[in-house]
Amino acid sequence: MAMIQSDEFRKGRDRIVRIQDATTARLTASDGVGVAYTTPITAGIYLRGLITANFSMSPNVQEFTLLGDDGYRDSVATGMAGELACSAYFTGPDDGTIDPAFQLILDAEANRDKEIYVEVLTYIGEDSSNNHKYWARAFNSAVTGASETAAGDGLIEMSWTFQSKGQIYVGTLDSGTSKIDPFA
């Protein structure tokens, strides 16, 4: 079986996941629909061998029934939580180096107090000024549900979930006239 080259992971991906140790990333102030998102990541690590990255945001809901409302149920959102379920290939240490994304995820899996700042960037297109726009969701997270599939041919396949801790920031990231290239 032949080794899969990193170039084969370049499949016109429209979803990019970038991570950084949360102790070095400061939370951004941009939040809300239509608001510009400014990334606080200075030395982010791209998940280059990403297979899946399924993001879901769900409100924490408190249900109630009003007296005199004929017994119909209603609810109010009391908070918000997000999860990013990922699976990715990581290369084994053939050249003696450890993939920094893999190391950060393993560190957070082993230490429940370690947080990772996660950005989920979904490409939404070019504006009239030829600037490339991404819909951004960003949050501090814990790593949960990590599992590893049998490695083969120098690859490690891992699945895990980034579970949000604290506020989830949303907005539009403007990358200028160039698309973000995780392989650059």
For residue range 47-60, what is the model confidence (pLDDT) as tens digits? 988 999 999 988 77
Q: How many helices (H) and strands (E) does the chain have?
A: 1, 7
Query: Strand order of the sheet with strand 15-21?
Result: 45-46, 15-21, 116-126, 132-152, 155-174, 73-91, 50-65
Mean predicted confidence (pLDDT) in 63-69:
68
**Biggest distance spanned by C-alpha atoms of the chain:** 71
What phi and psi values does residue 28 have, to the nearest 5 degrees?
-90, 160
What does pTM read for this prediction?
0.79
pLDDT value, residue 7: 46
pLDDT tens digits along 90-116: 876 666 678 899 999 999 999 988 999
Say if residues 165 and 84 touch (Cβ distance below 8 Å): no
Is the confidence at residue 151, as pLDDT, over 90?
no
Mean predicted confidence (pLDDT) in 116-128:
93
